Amino acid sequence: FLAMMYVLIHEAHIYDAEFLKKVTNAPYLVGPDRHLVRDPATGKPLVWDAVDGQAKPYDNTTIKDFALEGTYEVEGGAARPAFDLFKEHVRQYTPEWAAGITTIPTERIRRITRELGEAARIGSTIVIGGKEYPYRPACVVGYRGLNNHTNSWTSVMAQETINLLLGTTRVPGGLQGMNVPQQGLGWPQPTPLPAGPDGMVLPQV
């Protein structure tokens, strides 16, 4: 999974930037201390508006475009979007690295990843019931073979990160998960799930 992320980001350059900007915390600015940079007045995480050239709280309605990469001077320090740090982190997980652990040939890792990325059809839409939704007819999903091992949650998290990169979460054709009626079919969600002050979905009982 880590090598697949490497291929998607660094080789194939296939990822759903709009999904990452509008539905995840990928644009949230992270400071040198690896903590979120927050607005002094509200305490909310900041993002960088690439059009206005300034930091704004993540939910500011005037944001014209969320920056996913770059380094910006914010609150007296150099800050980078979380996606930029993630991109840098996965650079070490090449197909060659993965092949030495998994015995899966590098060319197969690259081929499968590119096929997945292309099948996701990033940017495509579909009309259902007169409403247009993102259409991502591909996803990665694992069941007992993946999640019944010690510390398997790390594998599941990696799997889900691929779905987030491709924007295949809770959209037609992608991974719907559980409780589909409550989660909706596209982003932004027609009925948003409860979120905390940082904009992240709160754990549901």
Phi and psi at residue 53, in whole multiples of 5°?
65, 40
Closest to 26 measured CA to CA, from 64, 70, 60: 70
| pLDDT range class, residue 180, cuts 50, 70, 90 | very low
- Residue-wise pLDDT for 95-154, tens only, equals 999 999 999 999 999 999 999 999 999 999 999 999 999 999 999 988 777 878 788 888
CA 143 to centroid of chain Cα atoms: 21
Q: Look at residue 51 and tell me whether its pLDDT is greater than 90.
A: yes
Tokens 């491709």 correspond to 166
Closest to 43 measured CA to CA, from 75, 20, 77: 75
Q: What is the pLDDT of residue 192?
A: 58
Distance between CA 43 and CA 81 in Å, rounded? Answer: 17
CA angle 92, 93, 99 (to 5 degrees): 135
Distance between CA 79 and CA 30 in Å, rounded? Answer: 5
Q: Look at residue 84 and tell me whether its pLDDT is greater than 60.
A: yes
Alpha helix stretches (DSSP H) within the chain: 2-6, 17-23, 82-89, 95-102, 106-119, 144-147, 153-166, 180-183
Distance between CA 185 and CA 172 in Å, rounded? Answer: 6
151 secondary structure, DSSP code: T
Q: Look at residue 44 and tell me whether its pLDDT is greater than 80.
A: yes
**Other CB atoms within 10 Å distance of the CB of residue 167:** 26
Closest to 49 measured CA to CA, from 28, 71, 67, 31: 67
Q: What is the pLDDT of residue 76?
A: 83
Q: What is the pLDDT of residue 183?
A: 46
